[in-house]
Every structure is written in C-alpha cells, then in structure tokens.
Amino acid sequence: MIILNTQGIVLKAVRYKENDVILTIFTRKLGKIAAMAKGAKKNKSSLLSSSQLFSYSNYTLKKYGNMYRVSQSDVIKSFYDLSYDLEAFSYATYITKLVESSTLENQTNNRLFVLLAQTLYLYTQENIDKQFITRAFELKFLDYIGFRPIVNRCSNCGSKDNQEYVFNSYEGGILCKTCSTIFDENQKIDITTVKLMEYILSNDILRCSKAKVSKYIIYELHRILKQYLMIYIDNINFKSLHLLHEIENNKGVDNYE
C-alpha cells in the first residue's frame, strides 16, 4: 500500500452507494486522479467538506491497486460560496469541466493547477469581471496544455511590423495583411485584442484581473477563443454556459452579434 500527500481540487463528485463519493481530483503531485471518499456523505464525516465540488484541500491518499482512497483531508479553501452565485457557479463549472475533459490521468501540470486555484478564487471576489477572467483562463489554459496561439508575430511569415492582423485558428494564431490573402477561415481581430492576448499570456491571472477591458474586446476574445478551443480541444462542451448566456441577455448585456 502506498500513502501519498498532495494538494488537490475536486473537479467532479459522484455519489456511490449510500454515503460514499467517487471524486475526480486534480492534484499537484499526481495530476488528475479518481479517488474514493468512504462515508463522505455522512453529516459528521471529516471528509464532507473536502468532497464537495471545487473544494481545494490537502489530501492524504492511500493507493490500493489501481484505486486511490482518501484517508484524511484538510480544507484549504472550500469555494462553497460559489454555489450561491449562479454566474460564478456557471463559470466555475465550465472551467473545471474543461480541465477534467482535457487532461490525462496521472499527468501533472503544476502551472494549470495554480491557474485553476487562482481563477476559482477570483470568482469569489467582488467587482471582478467574470467574463474577462474566464476568457483569460481559456487563453492561459491553451498555453499550459500545449496549444498556445501565436499572437506576437505572424504565424506564417513571422513578421512583427504590422498593425493590421486577422486571426486564423487553423494556422495557430494571427496573420499579417499579406499572409491573410493566402488562407481561408480568417477572423477579424482588433489590434487591441492582439495586445490583450499578449498581455494575458505574459502575466499571471491575478495581475490580469486588474485590467479594465471593454465589453467589445471581451466579446471578440470570446469569439476567437471559442473557435480555437473547438478546433484543438476534443469533446469540448459549452453547455454549462448556456444558462449563464440567457441570464446575461436578460440583463441586457450586449453580445455584438
């Protein structure tokens, strides 16, 4: 039997039998794993809080064959308050599903782990533009799993001297005016959006969260990243954001379509 200690964030929690829970945990030391939390649904269980969705905890894991079991846990941050804010909960559900569906088991990614923890923290803060934070998460997520879009030069010829670009997801980034005539499926992109993408890729998300970004630029970033994610990430599912989009439309948020 192997005993391991690691920090982890719960990506998914599925009830098993009456009081047990099977957790999908994104950990610092082991990457994504499945672990059984025996008796976690009992009201007096010491594992109750650390077995909730989004919970960020220190876990002591025992490995039995191919299966982990949570033997002890200490909550660092529960993020339970996210369940009281529909907007924050929708975004948090979306990014955790993105991590769950796009990472392999037992493959560590410490930069992505830190990004996920910091983003969940930002969703709990007041006066934070959650739409922008989610777009920043998506861009940095793509970088950390190996699909960083090229935004500091033309992805075809390497030119950095232009002030007029298009974005081409199939070519992996921006194209200068000359190269844009060679390829199809180009998307219009404002130079301000290009500079914002460079800024996001060069700074941690806590610093990025302080930026003041117009709704138009956030929408353009969303439009570009949505296509990019659909091309490079298998089985991506945007359903967790559908209700949120309805709420935003009812509040009169411009969608620029």
| Residue 175, SS3 per DSSP | strand
| Pair 29, 58: CB distance under 8 Å | no
Domain assignment of residue 149, given as a range: 83-250
Is 90 in the same domain as 205?
A: yes
Is 176 in the same domain as 193?
A: yes
Across the chain, mean pLDDT equals: 91
Q: Is 256 a member of any domain?
A: no
Is 159 in the same domain as 207?
A: yes
Is 110 in the same domain as 11?
A: no
> Checking DSSP bridges between strand 31-37 and strand 56-64, what pairing results, if any?
unpaired
> Of 18, 46, 78, which residue is a domain's last?
78
> Of 78, 103, 125, which residue is a domain's last?
78
Is 148 in the same domain as 196?
A: yes
* Tokens found for residue 17: 């039998």
Domain total in the chain: 2
Spatial separation of the C-alpha atoms in residues 169 and 240, rounded to whole Å: 23
Q: What is the pLDDT of residue 239?
A: 65
Q: Is 140 a member of any domain?
A: yes
Q: Is 159 a member of any domain?
A: yes
CATH of the domain at 168: 1.20.1440.120
> Of 78, 108, 139, which residue is a domain's last?
78
| Residue 238, SS3 per DSSP | coil
Q: Is 257 a member of any domain?
A: no
Task: Report residues of the chain scoring pLDDT below 50.
Answer: 252-254, 256-257
Is 139 in the same domain as 242?
A: yes
Is 198 in the same domain as 97?
A: yes
Spatial separation of the C-alpha atoms in residues 236 and 226, rounded to whole Å: 10
Q: What is the pLDDT of residue 238?
A: 67
Q: What is the pLDDT of residue 253?
A: 47
- Give the DSSP letter string of 66-106: TEEEEEEEEEEE--GGGGG-HHHHHHHHHHHHHHHHHS-BT
Is 177 in the same domain as 87?
A: yes
Q: What is the pLDDT of residue 257?
A: 41
